[in-house]
Structure 1
Amino acid sequence: MTSLILIAQFESRRHEVATLAFENYRFDQVVESCGGWESQTPGDERVRPVYLENADNPDGPTLRAHFVVRFYPGTVVIQDVYAHLEGDEIGAPGESPNTREELAHALLKIPSREDEQGVLHIEAPFLHFRAGTDCREIQRWIEAQHAPDKTAQPPAPAGENPVVFAVTLKVRLKLEIPPGADFTHIINELDYEFSDTTGEARITGTEILDYSGGRVG
């Protein structure tokens, strides 16, 4: 019974995503009406007929086109979406209806390989990313697409400073330092980076919080 419920929820979400993709799609012509979804079970494609206004003959019969949504196997994430009329593609997709969690889950299902540095790269195209793309790049893109809208955040009241969160990181370094050498300057010369989806975080300073060590070799 549980598996049947999960399958029903899965198909229901696919139906919802396909419908949102249809609503977001930018057709080149006026949509007069559309038919219901057609699909095969099991199957990863949904198709619906779309009836478009005939710009050359507005009083004549509508033009029958087809709207196609294809999902990545085993996911609710759209792999391809397009409309075609008499064999020619028309229009263009709109905003993706998938959530961050759905995109991340689908990425896990894409075949990947690990390079000599231990970095994963996809072995098949995913969304607009080519095969061979660093998985971290795709993950950053997913996060950026679903980052909070900064323009929707209310400004801080007049006379008040915005809240600032201070984060302390402890990093373990293995250094070989000659006797009598000053190692504190090394901290300021380290190359480091961090990821921030809000675009507002910044590094304000570095300092040595603790030091312990001894002779190496």
Structure 2
Amino acid sequence: MTPGPDSERLLDQILAMWDRSAATDGAAPAPLPSEPAVAAAVGASRNSVREAMIRLEERGYVHRSQGARTVLNHRLKGLGRRVDQQVDHAQAIAAAGHTPSVEILSAGSVQVDDDEDRFDDLPAGSPAFRTAKLWRADGVPYVHAEDLIPVRDADRVADVDPQDPVFDLAEHLNGVAVAWESVWFDPVLITGDLAERFEVGAPQAGLQLTYCGFGPLDDVAYWSREVQLAPVGRLRSALVRRVRRG
């Protein structure tokens, strides 16, 4: 089950305790206090805090060990855009300290065909809403994104704003509240029309991400394909993995 807004808010509250510590002392945040102390500080039950700590460990924010204090993964600060966590590009670009903007290159209803350039597995002939967008960070092209969203009610297409995040478009057009994504990574060479959109004169190396968002009942919410230029700083794509030994 996808965590609700209250669960996510509790995670943010706990992480903010480290941020306040660092801002006050000018040094790396200290380990968290005990779970009862954390619960008292954020006004939550001990069970809620215990569940939150499990989620934070799963996401790579903290490390817990038997008989030792819980410590923060200090490398997360400035790590980059986490590809193991999906957020809208506007939010990710802004969080990295840049001004986001998006250009809608195309948007409209289609029927899925057998084009050899397909990146989805929807049945041929399926009605869908397709968008192509170019995201910029401080005016510099950063991501070319294509979204293909199955449509259950064609009448609802007239009400959509293609600038909305793909998860919101999907929930509006097919009723699927996305819970997970499967993601595939491929290196690509950016040439031709795509190079023109990225405003690069010579072929450039890029990263292609193809992903499928689906709901708790395995219903497809959307298929997407993105091509990213190699950015710097906190816009670099990063993955946090837990290490298991033995």
Q: Larger RCO: Structure 1 or Structure 2 (Cα < 8 Å, ≥ 6 residues apart)?
A: 2
Task: Flag the structure with higher strand content.
Answer: 2
Indicate the structure (1 or 2) with the bigger Cα radius of gyration. 1
TM-score w.r.t. the length of structure 2 is 0.20
